[in-house]
Structure 1
Amino acid sequence: MTEQIERHRTAQRRSALSSPMQHLLRFGFLDGSRSLFDYGCGRGDDLRLLSEMKVPATGWDPVFRSDAERQPADIVNLGFVLNVIEDADERRETLKSAFSLARKVLVVSVMLGYQSKREQFATFEDGVRTQRNTFQKYYAQDEFRAYVEKTLGANAIPTAAGICLVFRDAVEEQLFLLARQQVRREWRLLRREPNSEAVAALIQEHREQIDAYWLRALELGRPATPEECPEAQSLMRLVGSWRRVHEWVGRFFSPEEFEAAAIGRQEDLLVYFALSHFGQRRPYSQLPDRLQRDVRFFFDSITKARNAGKRALFATGDSARLEEAAAFCHEELGIGVLNDDHDLTFHQSVLGECLPLIRIYVGCALQLFGDAGSVDLIKVHLQSGKVTFLVYDDFEGAATPRLVERIKVDLPRLRVDFFDYVGEYEPQPLTEDPATFYVR
């Protein structure tokens, strides 16, 4: 008789938030404005920590909290649960059940492991039986994403190795994806002095509202609408009508800075629409209000916006154009290290400063792998259709950082491979000065 699998032995004690919870925190989901349900919460350490953070959170576990109610919430976490269910039908139904409770988003996480990992244990069902008599279903990253999307019939958005978000609300999904492509730019509010002393006095009297409006316009890269500006009513009283606000306020600031803001925002949107075509994602029938305003201002229509994105995406398949973009990024913008026409390597923090073509190319790889914030260096292979993400032990602090993980994304094959440098593999030292991978 086969010994029964002991699922409860996989539950772990934690003194810090689990990795999926940490990702939710980094993306701003745990600000206390959304409720959370932890589906398969184990011993409840995440719940305790979330309670200390004033996040409204509840949870259920078949062993440790079996009496709790499984209830809907804005966010549902299914953290490392699918791995330990040995019955494939139960595993699939558990995923569906968790998604049915999510009003806004489901975060799913699993253990990744490739052939070498699986060979360490005895095969059991479609996974392995560990020495502790637990079951583990190890996934490959691309396999995990495909499984979630097929089971739920919804987009799965990887945010890290073995972690993805599935949005219930299409508008929320678009806002999340838009935010990922919006570069955080610092604006200086370059002012121009008015000719009239009376106007100068008027501006000084209303400086706070005027500066706030112009900063908002710079963030948007276009004139703000009343809905996007808390100071709308006071500015309309000052100028006479909303149509005059932008033109009037703009007289007292640098037009060059606003032009740069408009170009930057249009580039962000181009990257967004290009990546929306990658992987043949379903088109959205409803756009967020802000995106509708962006489309009208920068592209005239959603059809033109999508077509522009499609052309930009197809351009990444032209190695000559990639080489040209990489050379411009390195030589004109001072970004990273260029290895002839083979590859461009740079720190993840300067991705937003690259030309849109490079951002789209890397963005395609991130759609398969996760979030650039979890790596140190990005290597863009200009000939092979690949992107490599490199993680070092202490990139900014160590005198000679050592490579601990390499993630290679093969775009033509839609494949993600992970390589670590621990145990029997000697970590490789970084031979270049880390400063060379930023902007000169």
Structure 2
Amino acid sequence: MQQSWNSDRRRTAIGRSSLSVPARQALADRQLNADRTILDYGCGRGGDVASLQRLDCKITGWDPHYSSSAPVAPSDVVLLTYVLNVIEDPVERRQTLKEAWRLATSVLIVSARLTWERSKVRGQEYGDGLLTSRQTFQHLFSPDELRIYVEEVTGTRCISAAPGIVYAFKDDSARLGYLAHRIVPDAEWLASADTTSAIASLVDYVERRGRPPRVDEMPRPMAEQLAHLKPGELKRLIRDSADAEKVSEGAKRTTLNTLLFLAVELFNGRGPFSSLPLGVQLDVRSFFTSYKEACQRSDRLLLKLRDDTYIRGAMNASAVGKITPTALYVHRRAIDRMPTVLRLYEHCASVAAGRPQEWTIAKLKHQGRAVSWLDYPEFDKDPHPRITSSYLVDLKTLETSHMSYANSANRPLLHRKHEFLAPDDPDVLRYRRLTESELRAGLYENPHLIGTENGWEAELIRCGRMLRGHRLVRRPEG
């Protein structure tokens, strides 16, 4: 059955010369690839179809105005990109989503415009949305509203991949596999050209993961290079070659990653052991007495999110990030170095309402349970980067808010950049030297003045200083 839109919605379709945000997200999340069939249901002018075809994806597009004669058939992946928000009839909107779900055999990817775009939409209230001056309709969703709506219509647990982008999986193991991909680092294998290099790669894996891999976890060429060795020989080679301390650290790291995954899984909906990705199953068998024990420990970890004292203690103990009286701020390069309970805190917010594609620093409140992702796109280049946007998820209410600073004349900026990073980050020394120079120059004597562009510039002038890259120099007189 092909869904037919009755109103004139072709004006909402925009021409694209590059991939849409949802398509880019799906590519990054490995939901789109050359091995899967893809249907862009409501493809508009076909920009995503053309771009994905250039990437060798097997994609077709259907649209009631621009490609109405194109065939519509069940596909591994169905894209429903910015379609629901332009349908003014709630019954038709729901039916469109149902039909897209019917056509998806693996995953449905739904995206819609969001409430924070209200200032960009001129129009008057009409039904449950806005009738624009161009006689088009927009129902703007909040991120959690979109996820809940898709869950209600499809009858399955969904994941917010990013704000306004929701994945609905037909198979629960696929959902858990996606969660694992977000949480548990992918196995990395050193290149191997012969038996010696294959053994070195195997030892490296064991040191990082804390356990030997099963044959079907190895890259096929590597498994073939080691096939002539007996299992006992491989175990002896690993035992004799692997650094015991590194193996122990790897086991600890994998144990914590597994607990983190199982806790997020419970937050999003836990499945049976058999539905877990193979790697996670093997981790559970290696580092826990049973799946039940692993789940019990992860459940206790999730419960600790409610304890303000415990969360504040974890923030104080964190080896990474800048702590303030209200929150911990951590750069994305250091986010996986936070204590496990804080990683869980951030992951739960991202699963509930989506983590934005562009962000630099995560802000975790120690009271109230809210996570903000702050974007400082010039963090690495600008000694005092300016914020461009902030996206907040309140974990208690699942309400979200978004703030854009793109057009602000006096934006907030950062100081002491090294404090947001891990101590061993290669940029820390350079950033710390700058901070020390600024302290000696008296630039931090009035902290209430330096938080914005204008205030900071005034203090630079007062102290007779200026910045050249990450160096503080004297300002020329006159």
Q: TM-score by structure 2 length? A: 0.81
Per-residue deviation, 1:346:
1.1
Matched, 1:225 2:214: yes
1:273 matched to 2:256 = no
Say what the alpha-carbon RMSD is for the aligned residues. 2.5
2:159 equivalent in structure 1: 157
Structure 1 unaligned runs (5+)? 190-203
Aligned residue-pair number: 414
| Residue 339 of structure 2: aligned partner | 355
Between stretches 12-21 and 368-377, larger displacement belongs to 368-377
Partner of 1:375: 359
* Structure 2 Cα separation of the partners of residues 437 and 306 of structure 1: 32
Contact kept, 8 Å, 2:115 with 2:142, in 1: the verdict is yes
For residues 175-324 of structure 1, the aligned pairs below 5 Å read 175-183=177-185, 206-229=195-218, 230=220, 231-232=222-223, 235=226, 237-238=228-229, 240=230, 242-278=231-267, 281=269, 283-284=271-272, 286-324=275-313
In structure 1, the residue matched to 2:391 is 407
Equivalents in 2 of 1:355, 1:409: separation in Å? 20
Go from structure 1 to structure 2 and tell me whether the alpha carbon gap of 1:209 and 1:116 turns closer, same or farther (over 3 Å shift): closer
Residue 321 (structure 2) pairs with residue 336 (structure 1): yes
Q: Which moved more, 1:295-304 or 1:204-213?
A: 204-213
1:55 aligns with 2:38: no
Pick closer, same or farther for the CA change 1:292–1:122 going to 2, 3 Å: same
Query: Is the alpha carbon distance of 1:26 and 1:135 closer, same or farther for their aligned partners in structure 2, counting shifts above 3 Å?
Result: same
Question: Which runs of 5 or more residues in structure 2 are unaligned?
Answer: 1-5, 424-478
Specify whether residues 429 and 154 from structure 1 end up closer, same or farther in structure 2 by C-alpha distance, changes over 3 A only: same
Q: CA deviation at 1:214?
A: 2.0
The answer to whether the 8 Å contact 1:160/1:374 transfers is no
* Cα distance change on mapping 1:104 and 1:327 into 2, 3 Å: same
Report deviation, 1:393.
4.4
- The aligned residue for residue 28 of structure 1 is 30
Equivalent in 65, 79, 82 of residue 80 of structure 1: 82
Of 25-34 and 269-278, deviating more is 25-34
Instruction: Please tell me the residue identity of whatever aligns with 1:158.
Output: S
Quote the sequence identity (%).
31
- Name which of structure 1's ranges 425-434 and 14-23 shifts more when overlaid on structure 2: 425-434
Residues 375 and 153 of structure 1, relative CA distance in 2, 3 Å threshold: same
- Superposition pairs for residues 88-103 of structure 1, below 5 Å? 88-103=90-105
Which is further off, 90-99 or 300-309?
Answer: 300-309
- Single out whichever of 378-387 and 228-237 deviates more from structure 2: 228-237
* 1:398 matched residue in structure 2: 382
When structure 1 is superposed on structure 2, of 425-434 and 16-25 the one drifting more is 425-434
Question: C-alpha displacement at 1:21, in angstroms?
Answer: 0.7
- Contact 2:179–2:265 (CA under 8 A) maintained in structure 1: no
Name the residue aligned to 1:434.
Answer: 417
Is residue 396–residue 434 contact of structure 1 (8 Å, CA) maintained in 2?
A: no
Q: Which amino acid aligns with 2:135?
A: N
Q: Secondary structure at the match of 1:237?
A: coil
Q: Structure 1: how far apart are the matches of 2:400 and 2:236?
A: 49
Query: Is 1:346 aligned with 2:334?
Result: no
**In 2, Cα distance between the equivalents of 1:149 and 1:320?**
34
**So what's the TM-score if we normalise by structure 1?**
0.87
Superposed CA deviations along residues 78-111 of structure 1, whole A, max 9, x for unmatched, are 0000011111111111111111111211111000
Q: Sort the Cα spacing of 1:350 and 1:183 in 2 relative to 1 into closer, same or farther, 3 A.
A: farther
1:68 aligns with 2:70: yes
How far is the alpha carbon of 1:407 from its aligned partner? 1.5
Q: Does 1:365 align with 2:349?
A: yes
Distance 1:402-1:6 versus aligned 2 partners, 3 A rule: farther
Structure 1 position 160, deviation (Å): 1.3
- Please name the residue that 2:474 is paired with: none
Q: Which moved more, 1:210-219 or 1:120-129?
A: 210-219
